[in-house]
Amino acid sequence: MVPPKKRRHILFGRVNFIALPDPGPAMTSHLMPTYSRVDLAFAQGEGAWLTATNGERYLDFCCGVAVTALGHRHPHLVAALTEQANKVWHVSNLYDIPEADRVADRLCAASFAEVVFFQNSGAEAVECSIKTARKYQSANGHPERYRIITFEGAFHGRTLAALAATGNKKYLDGFGPPVDGFEQKPCGDLDAVKRAIGPETAAILIEPIMGEGGVRVVEPAFLKALRELCDRHGLLLMFDEVQTGMGRTGELFCYQRTGVTPDVMTLAKALGGGFPVGACLATREAAKGMTPGTHGSTFGFNPLAMSAANATLDVMLAPGFFDHVKKVGLLLKQRLAEIKDRYPSLIAEVRGEGLLIGLRALVPAGELVDALRGEQVLAVAAGDNVVRLLPPLIVSEAEIGEGVARLDRACARLDAAHSRQRKQEAAR
Ligand SMILES: *Cc1c(COP(=O)(O)O)cnc(C)c1O
């Protein structure tokens, strides 16, 4: 048994309200300590709710960071995965995998794409998109075109190439020279992108809404201008929809809201409804270099993962599903605008689309996340001092109301603590 970590309790009266892991040496866990985890574990999920091992019930507006889009233990997903588990778990890509054909057919029917490669994570899907772009240029007789333009504040994953695409110095530090062939430009700065396009440029990679970067919505006009630049210079336009995809913004894919169609698109997070699966989608033309032997994955196309993805699609493609997402998304945004008006010293802005919503905070975002957890709501911080609210797409109007009521209480508590603090400082 691993003994509980020591905790520091700060700021607020309630025990376990703001609890930071002790940075001291008493680390006995055998997990590589790359995460500072909260002292909270969950035993059971049901829809938008998670029950902790201590019996407390939490409203899950984090969704394992945009993964469990259909909530926990969705009966259709449970049935599909159980059925597949009783058939076959794994076979290898040496053989046909009918479940994979079916997911690919359905994703292509629902999007611009014509071919799909499946992996196990978002970073791998991004890797596949990078390889697809480089091979496309190479197949066109331009192997020298390998460089990809990405954007400041983006997030594309943690493998070495995805990190180089991300370009965040904090994540790259100490890992040796970053993979060559990526440069970040300020999002929205078209002139900077134009100047960056040279004889070695292969593609432009962008998230239509920067999720980890703080729910920053990219202007459709900017995406349209990128599309035109790509067409003019023979570059591929690639959308990283690992977070925005699979209904998060109120359409199956975010690009459908923008009026701009990419050549390549990556998916992961919600694709398997909680089962690990990623995908790189492309037109046949964009994927022309991905010929037999050029790419592979042992676990990619795994029948369990494919069954989970098919079950997710069954639910999402049913009539009316996205009407619900749009409706609750709008309700959440309206209710959050009221909270912002009530606590102008805590919340500066409500932004995002559908159920990918960010609150830009005027106190450290982590404090608001902790205060929410104190009210038994799970949320997650993002860049630009933003708190992300990512309810499951099946969330009810009543659960949105409950979440907002709890946010209200968390803000009231935080507001009181901060005004106490200000008074004490003024008295000194
Ligand atoms: C989460 C995320 C990734 C990385 O996905 P992993 O499954 O963690 O590798 C890549 N791109 C975007 C936009 C993401 O949000």
Reported as a single tens digit per residue, the pLDDT across 36-73 is: 999 999 999 999 999 999 999 999 999 999 999 999 99
- From 126, 159, 264, the mutation candidate for ligand 1 (largest count of ligand atoms within 8 A of CB) is 126
User: What is the predicted pLDDT for the residue at 28?
Assistant: 87
CA–CA distance, 193 with 195 (Å, rounded to integer): 5
> Which residues are CB-contacts of 92 (< 8 A; sequence separation ≥ 6)?
298
Q: Give 19-28 contacts, CB < 8 A, sequence gap 24+.
A: 19/370, 28/2, 28/3
Ligand 1 atom 15: residue of nearest CA? 243
Q: Is the pLDDT of residue 11 over 80?
A: no
Residues in the ligand 1 pocket, defined by CB under 6 Å: 121-123, 126, 155-157, 207, 211-212, 240, 242-243, 268-269
- Site to probe by mutation for ligand 1, drawn from 63, 148, 155 as the one with most ligand atoms within 8 Å of Cβ, is 155
Mean pLDDT over each residue of the chain, to the nearest integer: 94
113 CA to middle of ligand 1, Å?
20
Place of tokens 């608001």: 368
Q: Cα of 6 to ligand 1 centre, how many Å?
A: 31
* Residue carrying structure tokens 């700021």: 11
In this prediction, residue 428 has a pLDDT band, given cuts at 50, 70 and 90, of confident
Contact 99, 307 (CB under 8 A): yes
What's the gap in Å between 26 CA and the centre of ligand 1? Answer: 31
Higher pLDDT, 337 or 422: 337
For residue 339, the CA-to-ligand 1 centroid distance in Å is 30
Share of residues in the chain with pLDDT > 90 (%): 93
Neighbour-count burial for 176-185, b at 16+ CB within 10 Å, e otherwise: eebbebbbbb
Q: Give yes or no for residue 340 having a pLDDT over 50.
A: yes
Structure tokens given for 219: 């202007």
pLDDT tops 80 at residue 338: yes
pLDDT at 14: 38
Flag whether the pTM goes above 0.85: yes
Mutate to test the pocket of ligand 1, among 68, 212, 356 (most ligand atoms within 8 A of CB): 212
- pLDDT value, residue 97: 98
Q: Is the pLDDT of residue 26 over 70?
A: no
* Residue 392, CA atoms < 13 Å, CB-side half-sphere: 27
pLDDT of 156 reads 98
pLDDT, tens digit (0-9, with 9 covering 90-100), for 244-266:
999 999 999 999 999 999 999 99
What value does the mean pLDDT take over residues 373-397? 98
122 CA from centroid of ligand 1 (Å): 4
Specify the ligand 1 atom closest to the Cα of 211.
15
Fold of 75-316: Aspartate Aminotransferase; domain 2 (3.40.640)
- Residue 378: count other Cβ atoms within 10 Å of its Cβ: 23
Instruction: Give the least confident one: 10-19, 49-58, 349-358, 405-414.
Output: 10-19
* For range 323-352, the mean pLDDT: 98
Burial of 139 (0-12, 13-18, 19+ CB in 10 A): middle
pLDDT at 24: 52
Percent of the chain with pLDDT over 70: 94
> Does residue 6 surpass a pLDDT of 50?
no
Degrees to nearest 5, angle at CA 322 with 247 and 188:
50
Question: Once rounded to an integer, what is the mean pLDDT over residues 110-117?
Answer: 98
Domain extent listing, the chain: 14-19+22-67+320-427, 75-316
| The pLDDT value given to residue 268 | 98
Would you place residue 5 in the very low, low, confident or very high pLDDT band (cuts 50, 70, 90)?
A: very low
Q: For residue 222, name the pLDDT band (cuts at 50, 70, 90).
A: very high
Pick the CATH number of 14-19+22-67+320-427 from 3.90.1150.10, 2.30.42.10, 3.40.50.740, 3.40.50.1110: 3.90.1150.10
**Cα 413 to ligand 1 centroid, rounded to whole Å:** 33
- Tell me the CA–centroid distance for residue 123 and ligand 1, in Å: 6
Report the pLDDT averaged over residues 293-300.
97
Atom of ligand 1 nearest to the CA of 266: 11
